[in-house]
Structure 1
Amino acid sequence: MAADPRGLRGDAPLLDAWLRFREQAPTPFTIPGHKQRTDLVGDVVAGDVPLYGGLDTVKLAGGLLADAEARAAALWGADVCRFSTGGATHANQAVALALGRPGDRVVVSRTLHRSLLLGLVLAGLIPVWVRPDVDPATGLPLGVPPAAVARALAAAPDAVAVLVGDPSYVGTVGDVAGLAEVAHGHGVPLVVDGAWAAHAGFHPDLPRHALQLGADVLVTSAHKTLPAWSQAALVLARTDRVDPARLDAGVEATATTSPAGAVLASTDAARALLARVGEELLGAALAATRRARERLAAVPGLVLLDGPGTDPLKLVLVLPDTGADGIAVEQDLLAAGVPVEAAERDLVVAVVSLADDDATLQRFTDAVLAALQRHRGPARPVVGAAVYAVDPEQVLPPREAFFADAEAVPFAAAVGRVCAELVAPYPPGIPVLAPGERVTGAAAGALLAARDAGVRVAYAADPTLTTLRVVR
Structure 2
Amino acid sequence: MGEAPDPRDPRGLRARAPLLDAWLSHAERSPHPFTIPGHKQRTDLVGDIVRDDVPLYGGLDEVKLSGGLLQRAEARAARAWGADLCRFSVGGSTHGNQTLALAVGRPGDRVVVQRTLHRSMLLGLVLAGLEPVWVSPELDVRWGMPCGLAPETLAAALGAAPDARAVFVTDPSYVGTVGRVGDLADVAHAHGIPLVVDAAWAAHFGWHPDLPPHALAQGADALVTSAHKTLPAWSQAALVLARTERIDPARLDAAFEATHTTSPAGAILASTDAAVALLERDGEALLGDLIDLVADARRTLAAVEGVVVLEGTHVDPAKLVVLLAGTGVDGVLVERDLIAAGLPVEMADRDTLVALATLADDRSSIGRLVETLTAVVERHRAEPRPTVPAASWSVVPVQGCSPREAFFADRERLPLRAAVGRTSTELVAPYPPGVPVLAPGEVVTEHVVGALESARAAGVRIAYAADPLLTTLDVVAEPRVAGPVSLARATPAHGDTTAS
* TM-score normalized with structure 2 length: 0.90
Corresponding residue for 1:60? 65
Paired AA for residue 121 in structure 1: V
Counterpart-to-counterpart distance in 2, 1:326 and 1:390: 21
Instruction: Determine which of 224, 227, 231 is the counterpart of 2:229.
Output: 224
Corresponding residue for 1:381? 386
Counterpart-to-counterpart distance in 2, 1:170 and 1:97: 27
User: Per the alignment, in what secondary structure is the counterpart of residue 150 of structure 1?
Assistant: helix
Counterpart-to-counterpart distance in 2, 1:429 and 1:26: 41
Paired AA for residue 263 in structure 2: S
Residues 229 and 304 of structure 1: is their aligned pair in 2 closer, same or farther, counting only changes over 3 Å? Answer: same
Contact 1:140 1:427 survives alignment (8 Å): no
User: Per the alignment, in what secondary structure is the counterpart of residue 163 of structure 1?
Assistant: strand
Tell me if 1:48 matches 2:53: yes
Corresponding residue for 1:280? 285
CA RMSD of aligned residues (A): 1.9
Corresponding residue for 1:359? 364
Instruction: Determine which of 267, 278, 282 is the counterpart of 1:262.
Output: 267
Contact 1:423 1:431 survives alignment (8 Å): yes
Counterpart-to-counterpart distance in 2, 1:309 and 1:396: 35
CA deviation map 1:89-146 (0-9, x unaligned): 1111111111110000110000111111111111111100000111112212111111
Deviation at 1:391, TM superposition (A): 3.9
Residues 387 and 24 of structure 1: is their aligned pair in 2 closer, same or farther, counting only changes over 3 Å? Answer: closer
For residues 272-421 of structure 1, the aligned pairs below 5 Å read 272-384=277-389, 389=394, 391-421=396-426
Deviation at 1:466, TM superposition (A): 2.9
Counterpart-to-counterpart distance in 2, 1:62 and 1:347: 48
Counterpart-to-counterpart distance in 2, 1:26 and 1:453: 53
Instruction: Determine which of 170, 194, 209 is the counterpart of 2:199.
Output: 194
Residues 11 and 429 of structure 1: is their aligned pair in 2 closer, same or farther, counting only changes over 3 Å? Answer: closer
The 10-residue stretch of structure 1 (174-183 or 433-442) with the greater mean CA deviation from structure 2: 433-442
Paired AA for residue 31 in structure 2: P
Instruction: Determine which of 101, 104, 110 is the counterpart of 1:99.
Output: 104
Residues 39 and 376 of structure 1: is their aligned pair in 2 closer, same or farther, counting only changes over 3 Å? Answer: same
Corresponding residue for 1:9? 14
Counterpart-to-counterpart distance in 2, 1:17 and 1:24: 10
Deviation at 1:429, TM superposition (A): 5.9
User: Per the alignment, in what secondary structure is the counterpart of residue 142 of structure 2?
Assistant: coil
Tell me if 1:177 matches 2:182: yes
Contact 2:119 2:436 survives alignment (8 Å): no
For residues 237-256 of structure 1, the aligned pairs below 5 Å read 237-256=242-261
The 10-residue stretch of structure 1 (72-81 or 131-140) with the greater mean CA deviation from structure 2: 131-140
Paired AA for residue 107 in structure 1: V
CA deviation map 1:360-406 (0-9, x unaligned): 11011111111111111111222157995554332211011011122
CA deviation map 1:153-183 (0-9, x unaligned): 1111111000011111111111111110110
Paired AA for residue 45 in structure 2: L
Counterpart-to-counterpart distance in 1, 2:24 and 2:322: 41
Contact 1:326 1:348 survives alignment (8 Å): yes
Counterpart-to-counterpart distance in 2, 1:342 and 1:451: 15
Residues 115 and 387 of structure 1: is their aligned pair in 2 closer, same or farther, counting only changes over 3 Å? Answer: closer
Q: Which has the larger radius of gyration?
A: 2
Corresponding residue for 1:468? 473
Deviation at 1:78, TM superposition (A): 0.3
User: Per the alignment, in what secondary structure is the counterpart of residue 218 of structure 2?
Assistant: coil
Identical aligned residues as a percent: 67
Give the unaligned 5+ runs of structure 2: 1-5, 478-500
Deviation at 1:467, TM superposition (A): 2.3
Residues 432 and 237 of structure 1: is their aligned pair in 2 closer, same or farther, counting only changes over 3 Å? Answer: same
Contact 2:347 2:432 survives alignment (8 Å): no
Tell me if 1:25 matches 2:54: no
